[in-house]
Structure 1
């Protein structure tokens, strides 16, 4: 089955290339950005300003060719694509939790951004801890590597070069 989505806006950030971009929103101290929502979706922003965080779903438009096993940033051995968050996947959909700063007209100002400039936005959902947080979480192979997060940056390995 073929599934088609249309962008609802663009995510804007200071990250023009993958290299040097934080690999997760929490890896960089409050990198700022904005969402330029298409005017036809502005009415959908009603009541969103009451939330502190948003879940963004987007198309990784600069992702390289999909692979089922890849070497992630925080380890030197390959893992299955579904056990990592790399953009080079069968459906190159990205997910980030960002902090909402303010909304002006159809522009949403955000921080904790790890997204490339001009990334097509597919959807916005409010982050609700009671819905989204889980207890007794296991993080697999990342358990021994997650401490590296604050020092890791994208090296461009998952982009279409």
Structure 2
């Protein structure tokens, strides 16, 4: 893989540095932002909203496995018939749209790692299409509302889709993210 810096490929990096107090996002030293296309390629339908206890990015868990908060997934009335057949299901994939995240970062410097990584090597909500997913434990369904555990998003986040979690096909215990493994191993 060839490594390029931002000026090699004509990417503007002159975005102001610092964190926005309202969104909790900003440009850190070493990060790279790009200009986005004028129009999106596809449309999506939000099928509901996710209700969580978190009102700011600083309050959100770093990832969905760090929280045992019971959250509510509110399905819009038109889409509630699609919940049929989920009774007895223990886990679901929720796909949601991190609508308050920046979409122009292609290199990010996570504060917990301090080293730049390409956006596609991270699970940050800041990405060209801020689609997030979590495997959640389903506690119950009532009146078009799902009670779940295992989310990491802001209150009011739009819901894109729900899929059943199949342990037989969704679990890869030997999966590895190279840079993360190398970081945990430490210097040789």
* TM-score normalised by the chain length of structure 1: 0.84
Runs of at least 5 residues in structure 2 that lack an aligned partner in the other structure:
1-39
User: Over aligned residue pairs, what C-alpha RMSD do you find?
Assistant: 1.8
Distance 1:53-1:145 versus aligned 2 partners, 3 A rule = farther
Structure 1 residue 145, shift from structure 2 partner: 5.3
**Contact (CA 8 Å) 2:103, 2:129: kept in 1 or not?**
no
Structure 1 runs (4+) greater than 3 angstroms displaced = none
Structure exhibiting the larger radius of gyration computed from Cα positions: 2
Residues 142/81 of structure 1: CA separation in 2 closer, same or farther (3 Å cut)? same
Alignment counterpart, residue 2 of structure 1, candidates 38, 41, 52: 41
Equivalent position of 1:45 in the other structure: 83
Identify which of structures 1 and 2 has the higher relative contact order when contacts are C-alpha pairs closer than 8 Å and 6+ apart.
1
Is the alpha carbon distance of 1:77 and 1:26 closer, same or farther for their aligned partners in structure 2, counting shifts above 3 Å?
same
Whether 2:74 is the aligned partner of 1:36: answer yes
The answer to whether the aligner puts 1:21 opposite 2:60 as a matched pair is: yes
1:55-100 per-residue CA deviation (whole Å, 9 max, x = no partner) reads 1111101102421100124311010000001111111111111110
More helix as a share of residues: 1
Q: Which runs of 5+ in 1 are unaligned?
A: 147-161
